[in-house]
Structure 1
Amino acid sequence: GSSNACEKTSFAFLRQELPVRLSNIMKEINLLPDRVLRTPSVQLVQSWYVQSLLDIMEFLDRDPEDQATLGQFTDSLVTIRNRHNDVVPTMAQGVIEYKEAYGDDPVSNQNIQYFLDRFYLSRISIRMLINQHTLLFDGSTNPAHPKHIGSIDPHCNVANVVRDAYNMAKLLCDKYYMASPDLEIEEVNATNSQQPVSIVYVPSHLYHMLFELFKNAMRAPVESHESSPRLPPIKVMVALGQEDLSIRMSDRGMGVPLRKIERLFSYMYSTAPTPQMGTGGTPLVG
């Protein structure tokens, strides 16, 4: 049927597209400073990409009309996705290893910053392609999200994702500090004031962004108000306009000095102590 034709089309596209994307980012990894490339963590990440490229290349000459081939391809994509689950913390550990061994070098830091921006964007795109194929063609429907198109929610309720991300960050904060700020959400829907804000989006992407922001928004207020009887709440505004969605998160964590503003988006900088790898839990910062 049509679904089988779509699977063949997706197979034909991905077996050509994924090797290109994997090869491009592998080429960029090789352009990193030698001292970064020599760290055990970066070498491990490199080995994952090499193996995944080899796995995909096995399907370049396979017959898309063969149903067994399509099934094997989907299984291979699941294996690749799982292999790369820990790429982000492992690459971050590589940066930490480099920094501990060689200290701060402005030129190398700039190169690493440029690379990591492109590396993580590439990873998002590759995982998005893999997830769409595996979720659509593995032969089952996700019972928790039957209306999702792969990983895309045509009616993603933004406030619900905000609450989910807050609740997970709150669990972490309570674990580390035995306290956490409350959440206050305000929704502004300029397209329909009677309806909650919903958009076509990938909920897992939105959740991840919000979860990281909530972790930051919780740590600073807890540490700066440790002698207060009650922590100030985190206020989130979700505003949907005619063209775009904006989410503003406000905490009372005493802010950041103006001289440090430019460093906030650097992978090499953090206002918190370096989290320890291999402790078995998600760090509240990192």
Structure 2
Amino acid sequence: MSSLLASACPLTSSRRRSASNQPSFFYQNKQLELYARRDAYPLTLRQLVYFGRSLNENKVLQSANYVRKELPVRIAHRLRDIQALPYVVVTQEGVGKVYELYWAAFEKIRRYPEVRSLSENDAFCTFLQDLLGEHRAVIPLLSLGLSLSSPYLPPEQLDSFMRRMLVSRLSRRVIVEHHIALSDTYAGRDARGADAHVGIIDTRLDVGRTIQKCSSWLRERHPDAEPDEVPGISTVAWPEVVVEGQLATTISYIREHLEYIVFEILKNSMRATRRFHATSKSVPPIYVTVVGNSDTVGVRISDQGGGLVTKAIKSPSDLFSFSHARNASRLEDERLVALRTASSHPHGIRATVDEQVKRWKNGSSLGDGDVPGRGSSRVLSRIGIGLPMSHIHATYFGGSLELVSLDGWGTDCYVRLPRLGTNVEGIEV
């Protein structure tokens, strides 16, 4: 949930602001303590689908009040996480702003009255949409703040904190957007196919078609839409994507999550393949294999992009890390500038494919993993969140994402998603 929740305020900031808008103490607040002691109530995909079928007014109101009660609990735990950080981390650029956003959201939501009618629910949905919009900068702010904090935190502690923050953000966005979608369905405002969709879940999501759609979007990009300095690379075509295997495979899943995973992996594979073969007469294709059984859907993405291990990356899994000790690029000046640009952009970053494609088609460069670069309206600077966020999306409902590097040749990415929908959200409290 790029969304709902984020609020930060260093000690000095809280002293400057009125007590009505900020906590009187950064580390002590009775309401925060009350909510942080409560347990969250995580859900499964199957529960979300079953509850959303055969909607009636009572179910819509139950959903609204679940969201109203659950959100402040999940936010409170993350506020506590920030408070537990060393002071030198809390004062880093970006972290304080996130705390302010989370605190403001916590106060707004916990004070929101019970939703008793459909008209009150419409107002509540508008309230939630506004909160989602207010938190679009959370991902780049967190990434910036924790990148700058990397010298002060052990890699394991830093990555554990970031995972809890980003998984919680995703979880809050899921329950908010699912409720809004259910409300739209019941009110007749949902344009999606009602027979296949339950809220934000596509109960017959076509995996092969999703891969082909992501491939088409990526191959439609302008040839020089990358910040590479390889001579002549702007004349090298994007590699083709060959989809094979059990192409009739479907899964009950959140479309935006599968799209994001596939899109980011393919984007990296295309970039690496094109760069590795910049002086060749032809660029080899990327092969995507789809396999499904009664329990799991698997997707393998194989490229010939030279592999992943470099001077900055000793193990492929280090690409999921936000610590400079595991991924030296986290403290590169270009990446930090790109994160500042993204965090100050009015649209922020929601970590969805739709926003990237929309911006490309509208002539704007800003996307989930990229921000406008200098010297060309098409050139993009990378901020490095695509693979970490893909890993979080894949593991959120009990799946996995594994990278296998064949150094000097290419990379195989393995995505596995559980098919039964019985895995509980992977949030930590």
TM-score of the two chains, using structure 2 as the length reference: 0.58
- For 1:271 and 1:183, locate their aligned partners in 2 and report how far apart those are by CA, in whole Å: 28
Query: Residue 47 in 1 paired to residue 96 in 2?
Result: no
Structure 2: where are the runs of 5+ without partners? 1-53, 227-232, 343-364, 371-379, 385-429
Check whether the contact 2:147–2:322 (CA below 8 A) recurs between aligned residues.
no
* Alignment counterpart, residue 58 of structure 1, candidates 93, 111, 115: 111
Residue matched to 1:161: 210
Deviation string for 1:137-171 (max 9, x for gaps)?
A: 14343324444211100100011211222233334
Query: Residue 239 in 1 paired to residue 291 in 2?
Result: yes
Query: Residue 16 in 1 paired to residue 101 in 2?
Result: no
**1:11 is aligned with what amino acid?**
A
Residue matched to 2:191: 143
Kindly state the Cα deviation for residue 242 of structure 1 after the two structures are TM-superposed.
2.2
Alignment of 1:169-248 (within 5 A): 169-172=218-221, 174=223, 175-176=225-226, 178=234, 179-188=237-246, 196-248=248-300
**1:253 is aligned with what amino acid?**
G
**1:31 is aligned with what amino acid?**
A
Between 124-133 and 35-44, the greater mean CA deviation after superposition? 35-44
- For 1:172 and 1:47, locate their aligned partners in 2 and report how far apart those are by CA, in whole Å: 37
Residue matched to 1:3: 56
Structure 1: where are the runs of 5+ without partners? 190-195
Residues 20 and 243 (structure 1 numbering): CA distance in 2 closer, same or farther, change over 3 Å? same
- For 1:173 and 1:88, locate their aligned partners in 2 and report how far apart those are by CA, in whole Å: 26
Kindly state the Cα deviation for residue 68 of structure 1 after the two structures are TM-superposed.
3.9
Residues 156 and 270 (structure 1 numbering): CA distance in 2 closer, same or farther, change over 3 Å? farther
Kindly state the Cα deviation for residue 125 of structure 1 after the two structures are TM-superposed.
1.0
Query: Residue 95 in 1 paired to residue 146 in 2?
Result: yes
Residue matched to 2:159: 113
Deviation string for 1:21-79 (max 9, x for gaps)?
A: 111111112222323221231222222211211221122xx343344432221111111
Q: Please tell me the root mean square deviation across aligned C-alpha atoms, in Å.
A: 2.5
**2:84 is aligned with what amino acid?**
L
Check whether the contact 1:173–1:219 (CA below 8 A) recurs between aligned residues.
no
Check whether the contact 1:33–1:108 (CA below 8 A) recurs between aligned residues.
no
Partner of 1:227: helix, strand, or coil?
Answer: coil
Residue matched to 2:133: 82
Residues 197 and 20 (structure 1 numbering): CA distance in 2 closer, same or farther, change over 3 Å? same
Residues 165 and 45 (structure 1 numbering): CA distance in 2 closer, same or farther, change over 3 Å? farther
Moved over 6 A (4+): 270-273
Kindly state the Cα deviation for residue 259 of structure 1 after the two structures are TM-superposed.
4.0
Between 17-26 and 263-272, the greater mean CA deviation after superposition? 263-272
**1:183 is aligned with what amino acid?**
V
**1:137 is aligned with what amino acid?**
S
Residues 108 and 171 (structure 1 numbering): CA distance in 2 closer, same or farther, change over 3 Å? farther
- For 2:99 and 2:219, locate their aligned partners in 1 and report how far apart those are by CA, in whole Å: 34
Q: Which has the higher contact order (CA 8 A, sep 6+)?
A: 2
Residues 173 and 113 (structure 1 numbering): CA distance in 2 closer, same or farther, change over 3 Å? farther
Query: Residue 260 in 1 paired to residue 315 in 2?
Result: yes
**1:3 is aligned with what amino acid?**
N
Residue matched to 1:281: 366
Deviation string for 1:82-111 (max 9, x for gaps)?
A: 222332222112233335xxxx45x43321
Between 156-165 and 88-97, the greater mean CA deviation after superposition? 88-97
- For 1:76 and 1:265, locate their aligned partners in 2 and report how far apart those are by CA, in whole Å: 33
Paired residues, what number?
A: 273
Residues 51 and 167 (structure 1 numbering): CA distance in 2 closer, same or farther, change over 3 Å? farther
Partner of 1:264: helix, strand, or coil?
Answer: helix
Between 88-97 and 242-251, the greater mean CA deviation after superposition? 88-97
